Structure 1
């Protein structure tokens, strides 16, 4: 009985090691942070959501952070819309989290410290990344448009 139990334990340990290198760390806690580092006292309007959760719209002053945590499931995906104040015409939408090992380890900082930190600056949106030992430029702000901040992305405004 002891041999079978030891064999079973070694197989489980091997499978866990393979999962660590190939698969995302399922069923573990992860965090997303959005930071406002815009200039000229501009506020940042933040709206993040998933298929199952819609966070309330939040306004961040310079230096403030919006953060949320969740458990990683196979289909966990969060995307965020950011608008740059004061008129909120400059906009960007991006995937803030994907349950993909390449995204977690390559785009974000991996499971240590288990956070994907996105920073809004004048040039665009940066992500903190271990590989580049700092922030990495990811997205530029869209040109000003007539998209109203309360409208879903891609929906025309009333002025059209």
Structure 2
């Protein structure tokens, strides 16, 4: 029989359990997931530039699973830039058209760890032979930024 003088707090066990789970999760947070947690607070930017060649206009259309961005037409060395906040499964695709051909890239993919590799800005250069992403290039004791080809067509 319960003591009528003792007040029961049924939610206390739940709160203590959730608190313990959160503490365990915070302790288990590794470096990669802390990058992701920091990225959630920042705005991510993507810039795609037309490096196809002089006199070639590139049509570009980008979208995510829940957002369609406006179609843009870029002259040589012009760029298109958009921004967003990173969520758990954030991914943006871009389709580029020139010379009656279509070329597609994943402009941002959180699973590819772009939030770590690009920091707050992903720079893409689209060329006739493929798509290049600006990355840190490690050269022994030093590093510098340069474009790395991620897509070939």
Offset at 1:117? Answer: 1.0
Contact 1:92–1:140, Cα closer than 8 Å, also in 2: no
Aligned to 1:90: 101
Gaps of 5+ in 1: 1-10, 142-160
| Bigger Cα Rg | 2
What is the aligned counterpart of 1:31 among 41, 45, 60? 45
Residues 20/29 of structure 1: CA separation in 2 closer, same or farther (3 Å cut): farther
Q: In the TM superposition, what are the counterparts of 1:50-65 in structure 2 within 5 Å? A: 50-65=64-79
Residues of 2 paired with 1:77 and 1:15: CA distance?
A: 26
Number of aligned residues:
123
TM-score, structure 1 length as denominator?
0.66
Contact 2:60–2:94, Cα closer than 8 Å, also in 1: yes
User: Helix, strand or coil: the match of 2:137?
Assistant: coil
Contact 1:92–1:139, Cα closer than 8 Å, also in 2: no
Gaps of 5+ in 2: 1-21, 139-144
Residues of 2 paired with 1:140 and 1:95: CA distance?
A: 13
User: Helix, strand or coil: the match of 1:39?
Assistant: coil
Residues of 2 paired with 1:127 and 1:27: CA distance?
A: 23
TM-score, structure 2 length as denominator?
0.68
What is the aligned counterpart of 1:125 among 112, 131, 137? 131
Deviating beyond 4 angstroms after TM superposition, the runs of 4 or more aligned structure 1 residues are none
More strand by share: 2
Alpha-carbon RMSD across the aligned residues, in angstroms, is 2.6
Deviations, residues 68-113 of structure 1 (Å, cap 9, x unaligned)? 01111112211110112xxx423211211112363333xx42x2xx
Residues of 2 paired with 1:44 and 1:122: CA distance?
A: 11
Deviations, residues 95-145 of structure 1 (Å, cap 9, x unaligned)? 11112363333xx42x2xx1111111122111111136300011123xxxx
